[in-house]
Amino acid sequence: MKALQLYGKQDVRFEDVPMINIEREDDVIIQVKTAGICGSDISRFGKIGSYNPGLIWGHEFAGVVAETGKSVSSVKAGDRVVACPCFPCFNCEHCHRANYAKCTDLKVLGGHRKGAFAEYISVPAANVVRIPDDLDFDAASFVEPSAVVVHALDRVSIKAGSSVVVVGCGTIGQLAVQWARIYGAGKVYVCDTEQQKLDVALKAGADDIFNATAADFEQKFSTVTHGKGVDLVIESSGNAAGIASCMNLASKGGTVLLLGIPYGDVPFDRSSFEKIIRNELTVRGSWNSLSAPFPGREWATSLDYMRKGLVNPSLLITHRIKLEEAPGIFPQLYQRKFHFIKVLIDIDEGH
């Protein structure tokens, strides 16, 4: 079969690899239809390289069950599915408390196990989630990032009428705009450095947008929020400057939710750091998409709201490529040669 294999920093190859076979009784082999390129994939390509050189990577995908191990009864060949890309040990103290994201030996798809940038993939049946017949594969490939946002919002206080600002308008940020509305936010603001992403955020449901490169950005934000800031800041950019400055956007007693993963040090100036202390901010980190029963309500909830049309991933699809085109595209994505939000890989073009 064909696959993308990551050998090191900026070294990805489109290659023939051995076909995946059933090895364990609970294995499910999935024919991948659509895979999404995550921001973490781009960082892995450009900055980090491969945990295991030559491993197939990629973790956002949707497809069809091709074959199952003999103990699998939850799905069957022909079922349309997505899969959770995380593999807790189920044996440590955190797993025993169903805190799977805190697992001391957590493995991930595309990092420790063969990932989804391939024609076929194998995962345990416990990780496989069936999708409704009326949900297309494109939308279904967004279930994993959507579940990440739901997992995060479940960990903060957001209620009807809450004011929210989303910092960073990549896939996670754009989904956070939509989910903030679902959770009851009264006002949703968005900050980014790219006007095209801000324009998409308006379509996704933002009330007002702010270009963070503008000299009067913080003044305008203060005017709109009547000098109070907002109840909840969702930082999804992972940008060091964005992380530090987002403390200035929260109201006194407000919450800052950190979702974006930085790939470098995050220095804080004194003013920003003191906001945490003097304004008694709650700073909450969130990572992953897991809860009990595994893989978690985040997955079922995301599928349900997508099927109802209340979460609309199609707004975020900016480019489509073929699997063999990816080695030429990744350098451009890493260097930000063009505007993009979500790039989908059509692995089975017949879907």
pLDDT value at 349 more than 70: no
Amino acid at 26: D
Pick the CATH number of 2-145+289-346 from 3.40.50.720, 3.40.50.11540, 3.40.50.2300, 3.90.180.10: 3.90.180.10
- SS3 label, residue 251: strand
Question: What pTM does this model have?
Answer: 0.96
Q: What is the pLDDT of residue 37?
A: 98
Dump pLDDT digits (tens) for 38-83: 999 999 999 887 788 999 999 999 999 999 999 999 999 999 999 9
Q: What is the pLDDT of residue 241?
A: 87
Sign of CA dihedral 329, 335, 340, 343: positive
pLDDT value at 115 more than 70: yes
pLDDT value at 2 more than 90: yes
208, two tokens = 């007002």
Q: What is the pLDDT of residue 47?
A: 87
Mean predicted lDDT score pLDDT of the chain:
95
pLDDT value at 350 more than 70: no
Q: What is the pLDDT of residue 52?
A: 86
State how far the Cα of 165 lies from the Cα of 3, in Å rounded to an integer.
39
Looking only at the bridges linking them, the beta strands covering 342-346 and 27-37 are antiparallel
Burial of 74 (0-12, 13-18, 19+ CB in 10 A): middle
Dump pLDDT digits (tens) for 293-325: 999 999 999 999 999 999 999 999 999 999 999
Burial of 91 (0-12, 13-18, 19+ CB in 10 A): exposed
What residues pair up with 51 in beta bridges, in sequence order?
Answer: none
pLDDT value at 188 more than 90: yes
Burial of 289 (0-12, 13-18, 19+ CB in 10 A): buried
Length reported for the chain: 351
pLDDT value at 91 more than 90: yes
Better-scored residue on pLDDT, 286 or 349: 286
State how far the Cα of 75 lies from the Cα of 67, in Å rounded to an integer.
10
E strand map for 212-337: 230-235, 250-258, 282-285, 317-322
Q: What is the mean pLDDT of residues 161-170?
A: 97
179 membership: H or E segment, kind and range = helix 171-182
Give the closest residue to 80 by CA, choosing from 137, 20, 19, 21: 137
Pick the CATH number of 156-285 from 3.40.50.720, 3.30.450.40, 3.40.50.10470, 3.40.50.300: 3.40.50.720
Domain-wise residue ranges, the chain: 2-145+289-346, 156-285
Q: How confident is the model at residue 217 (pLDDT cuts 50, 70, 90)?
A: very high
